[in-house]
Amino acid sequence: MAPLQNLEQLADEIQGLAKTVSAFLGTTNGSIPNFDAAAPDVQAARQKLRDVSKAIYDITTGPRERLINLTTGSTVLSASLRWIYQFRIAQSVPLDAPITFTALATAAGVDESQLKRVLRYAITHGIFTEPTVGSVAHTSESKLLGNDPFMQNYIGHYSEHSFHIVSKMPEATAKWGASPETTETGFNVAFDTEMPMFKYMQNHPAKAKRFAGLMQGMASSPRYHLRHLVEGYDWAALGNGKVVDIGGSAGHASIALANAYPSLTFVVEDLPHVVAQGAEALPEPLKSRISFLPLDFFTPQPVKDADVYILRQICHDWSDKYAVKILENLLPAMKKGAKLVIMDGLIPPPNAIPKLDEAQVRMVDLVMMTHFNGKERDLEDWKGLFAQASPKLKLLNTKTPAGSVYSILELEMEE
């Protein structure tokens, strides 16, 4: 953002954009707005409006205060969310009526003055509200915290687990530099372990369960929604084909595809403790079409008659060194004409998309770096990875479904 950008010009720009977004909000009848349902022109206006209003905020805050807010504010807010999560504050606030701080402190079993201090800070960020002095009520955000299982898994995982990992980013670099290893990361510093994170999870079932719940919930949040996978590829063309979902967690992607395409069958592969969880929760009607197979994807792919192999949100967890190994273990199993469908980040060039959307993709990139020494990739990165895995691996197509954080890359092996 140019420092002397004309504030009045930005304010003028806001008017028209706000009209478009406000007309959409008027149609939501006071319910939590789902921008996913908005038409493309509303989406575009909203993205621009967010970028312009952020520019206005930046200019009117000034560089010194902004830097201070960025440093202290984000740390204190993360810790406050963690406090609210740990003491189950949101669950103790009635859904449709205020509660006094005194009654809330008793219900949650915390000190009233600490509760007031933490919540009054959170309230300045729109999490809870104080409709009359001394009482607390929900906002849309705090309601989600109390009510929505995905948000609870998300806040729990990020605030109790990832919070510590991301904060160790400099320590990990100082110790190991740009290591490709999953055992030389912020995670390893934060949890003082030599295990990679997914292995560590195996020994921490509650964390593993929360993570699987998070992945499942992500898949139904707008920007990560499974609809982008279901609608973003020509699954119908497979007829009664077979699909292997590699690292498919508890099977949520395969379940969504199976529901949409009743002729397809699926094998979901993941680590033993994860597939056990998936098999247990699989709805009865899908049992004949979805099977679970415990498989370490660093060992050869045993299913050789599939038409499509999916790698969704897998490669970004790994540095090139290991992503290549995952591909090398898969490619020899692919029969003639079989396709590999990768759904993962495809980082656009700098400034090619709205700033706040670019921030999201780059934020995920740093999560991957700190947790696994993994990475989000741009087109050149992907091409380099494929070339390392096999000169015969051919990229057929890339597509970023509208509203999706992730893109779909379709590949096949040349003869």
Comparing CB distances to ligand SAM, the nearer of 270 and 307 is 270
Comparing CB distances to ligand SAM, the nearer of 99 and 333 is 333
Residue 298 lies near ligand SAM (rule: CB under 6 A): yes
| Annotation says 273 is catalytic | no
Shortest distance (Å) from residue 216 CB to ligand SAM: 7
Report CA 122 to chain centroid distance, whole Å: 23
The residues near 337 (Cβ < 8 Å, ≥ 6 apart) are 307, 412
Among positions 289, 312, 339, 371, the unique one binding ligand SAM when judged by CB under 6 A: 312
Comparing CB distances to ligand SAM, the nearer of 98 and 196 is 196
Residue 313 lies near ligand SAM (rule: CB under 6 A): yes
Contact window for ligand SAM (CB under 6 A) among 96-104, 125-133, 230-238, 292-300:
292-300
Residue 315 lies near ligand SAM (rule: CB under 6 A): no
Here's the x/- map for ligand SAM, 191-210, by CB under 6 A: it reads as -------x------------
Among positions 98, 213, 232, 248, the unique one binding ligand SAM when judged by CB under 6 A: 248
Comparing CB distances to ligand SAM, the nearer of 41 and 296 is 296
Shortest distance (Å) from residue 206 CB to ligand SAM: 15
Among positions 219, 244, 303, 389, the unique one binding ligand SAM when judged by CB under 6 A: 219
Nearest-angstrom CA–CA distance, 104 and 111? 10
Catalytic residue among 138, 228, 316, 371: 316
Residue 297 lies near ligand SAM (rule: CB under 6 A): yes
Shortest distance (Å) from residue 158 CB to ligand SAM: 14
Q: Write b or e for each residue in 163-180: b if 16 or more Cβ atoms lie within 10 A of its Cβ, otherwise e.
A: bebbebbeebbeebeebb
Contact window for ligand SAM (CB under 6 A) among 6-14, 90-98, 310-318, 349-357:
310-318
Residue 247 lies near ligand SAM (rule: CB under 6 A): yes
The residues near 288 (Cβ < 8 Å, ≥ 6 apart) are none
Comparing CB distances to ligand SAM, the nearer of 304 and 392 is 304
* Number of chain positions touching ligand SAM (CB under 6 A): 18
List own/partner pairs for 40-45 with CB under 8 A and 24 or more apart: 40/402, 43/402, 43/403, 45/16, 45/17, 45/20, 45/21
The residues near 118 (Cβ < 8 Å, ≥ 6 apart) are 80, 83, 84
Shortest distance (Å) from residue 36 CB to ligand SAM: 18
Among positions 122, 166, 267, 274, the unique one binding ligand SAM when judged by CB under 6 A: 274
Residue 271 lies near ligand SAM (rule: CB under 6 A): yes
Shortest distance (Å) from residue 200 CB to ligand SAM: 11
Shortest distance (Å) from residue 367 CB to ligand SAM: 10
Nearest-angstrom CA–CA distance, 45 and 39? 10
Comparing CB distances to ligand SAM, the nearer of 322 and 382 is 322
The answer to whether residues 256 and 219 touch, using CB atoms and an 8 Å cutoff, is: yes
Is 378 buried (19+), middle (13-18) or exposed (0-12) by CB count in 10 A?
A: middle
Shortest distance (Å) from residue 339 CB to ligand SAM: 17
Comparing CB distances to ligand SAM, the nearer of 83 and 292 is 292
Residue 243 lies near ligand SAM (rule: CB under 6 A): no
Q: Which parts of this chain interact with ligand SAM (CB under 6 A)?
A: 198, 215, 219, 247-249, 253, 270-271, 274, 295-298, 312-314, 317
Q: Tell me the catalytic residues.
A: 316
